[in-house]
Amino acid sequence: MPEGHTVHRIADRFERDFSGKTVTISSPQGRFASAARLVSGQTLIRAYAVGKQMFLEFDGGGTIRIHLGIYGKWQFHDGDRDHEVVGQVRVRFSAGRVSADLRGPTVCEVISPDEVGAVLRRLGPDPINPNPRQRESHRFIERVTRSKSAVGLLLMNQDVISGIGNVYRAELLFRAGIEPHRPGTSLTVDEVQALWDDAVKLLKVGVATGFMITRDELFKKRPTKDERNWVYKREGQPCRMCGTEVSIELMAARKLYWCSGCQS
Ligand SMILES: [Zn+2]
């Protein structure tokens, strides 16, 4: 499943290609056909992401909310020629010569400003949109330090922090030296603030590069998939820091990777 950096990159692309333009919206596959008629032909005011969700705000007052889920995918066309519809395209966005096809999202709906507000209030703060920064990290710190749940679960909870998935969860905890089973209440404010600051840093690298690189010495390089991370998908291999075998277990049905030598 895409983590927050991917969705932010797509929102940036929408801003560049569609913002301020009249957008034609169709549903070749048909499932979005009646909703498309509510906004098609309007001007896109802005595209933005919060965590793993993207919002396309149109001048008629409607907003399209999109959550890719596990199977959702985007395909952009630069407009050198007309592109035939291939496969199950739920929504096609076109403006002039550029177009974008959306396939298989978990959520794609047109909602009102009030409904947008309700979604945004429910979502936890997004490290890429720390605005205003102090208040956002404060919300995160409050939610973590008041919860008895394991910090490894809290980082995956989109009500606590938006945009973190399985890769960033494992890597943030490793980088902080925090054992994933520790309850939120056992973490100090400084520890949680440091987790937030590191999430801001890693997600920015993700938005800039398109890859979830979590080893500082590789930020500016083009590491292979096997090199990018400390513990993610490295179960059974020696920890890059201490040599202990990297552990794997299921935590709330998702694979959790961590090092029992480095994280306490
Ligand atoms: Zn280790």
3-class SS at 219?
coil
Catalytic residue list: 2-3, 52, 254
Distance 171 CA to ligand 1 centre (A): 12
Q: What angle do CA 1, 171, 206 make, to 5 degrees?
A: 60
- Residue 226, H or E segment: none
Q: Find the 258 Cα to ligand 1 centroid distance in Å.
A: 8
Half-sphere exposure of 1 (CA within 13 A, CB side): 19
**Residue 24 Cα, ligand 1 centroid: separation in angstroms?**
52
Q: What is the distance in A from the centroid of ligand 1 to the CA of 145?
A: 25
Where does the chain have alpha helices with state H? 4-18, 33-39, 113-122, 133-145, 151-154, 166-176, 189-209
Structural tokens at position 152: 């490894």
> How much of the chain, in percent, has pLDDT values that exceed 90?
89
Judged against a pLDDT cut of 80, whether residue 9 lies above it is answered with yes
Distance 176 CA to ligand 1 centre (A): 12
Which range (27-41, 79-93, 221-235) has the least confidence? Answer: 79-93
CA 205 to chain centroid, in Å, comes to 13
Q: Which two tokens stand for residue 166?
A: 């399985």
* Average pLDDT score, the chain: 95
Whole-angstrom Cα distance, residue 231 to residue 2? Answer: 18
Distance, CA of 173 to CA of 252 (rounded, Å): 17
Q: Is the per-residue pLDDT at 170 higher than 70?
A: yes
Q: From the CA atom positions of the chain, what is the Rg in Å?
A: 20
- State how far the Cα of 29 lies from the Cα of 92, in Å rounded to an integer: 10
- Between the CA of 128 and the centroid of ligand 1 the distance, in Å, is 28
User: Could you tell me whether strands 53-58 and 24-26 are parallel, antiparallel, or unpaired per DSSP bridges?
Assistant: unpaired
Q: What is the pLDDT of residues 179-235, one digit of tens each?
A: 999 999 999 999 999 999 999 999 999 999 999 999 999 999 999 999 999 999 999
For residue 242, report the distance from its CA to the centre of ligand 1, in Å: 4
Cα–Cα–Cα angle for 87, 76, 212, nearest 5°? Answer: 105
- Sign of the C-alpha dihedral computed for residues 107, 49, 61 and 29 taken in this order: negative
- Dist. CA 89–CA 32, nearest whole Å: 10
Phi, psi of 247 (to 5 degrees): -90, 155
Q: Which residue has the tokens 């429910």?
A: 122
Sign, Cα dihedral of 30, 32, 37, 43 = negative
State residue 132's pLDDT score: 63
Tell me the two tokens of residue 16.
């560049």
At residue 1, the pLDDT reads: 77
Tens digit of each residue's pLDDT (9 = 90 or more) over 117-153: 999 999 999 999 876 666 788 999 999 999 999 999 9
Inter-CA distances, 238 with 9, 37, 257, Å: 33, 55, 12
Contact indicator for 54, 48 with CB cutoff of 8 Å = yes
Contact 258, 247 (CB under 8 A): yes
Kindly report the pTM of this predicted structure: 0.92
